[in-house]
Structure 1
């Protein structure tokens, strides 16, 4: 059993027409991301803003954060939670 973790470091982030990652730049399609957020029946309203270090904004404390990850080559990211219960810890996973 071998788990490979591929880390993708984000140097900057923007809203754009497509969701993509290239050379440290993360681009997010805002409408696409909001559609995924609104799939949760408990969320009735949502907005997305990009905040960067040095911006003059006030943020409320983050109570829960999940590192964005995707399995490469199939299988659930979190077996038993996002898919069938199975042995974890093998294959390749990419993380931002």
Structure 2
């Protein structure tokens, strides 16, 4: 974990209520990536393609390799079962940090 993540008390306060559920989602992404012999990033980006409210994901890349991985995610078609498995542990996040 990078130093900022360890020391970011404000960031921790924003996400602490859903940290356990978030961790389970991350673990599911890892399981599906391993089963498909692909990367977590590709599974996550493929999941975004199935979300009707996402019309244009913002992909911030800092290397050609990251761009290649984002493009490769277009070839990952998640099954209905995989989408269910990813949604199952998810918990809604309340809007925090704004008054």
TM-score above 0.5, yes or no: no
TM-score, normalised with respect to structure 2: 0.27
Larger Rg: 1
Higher relative contact order (CA 8 A, sep 6+): 2
Q: Higher strand share goes to which structure?
A: 1
Higher helix share: 2
Q: TM-score, normalised by structure 1?
A: 0.27
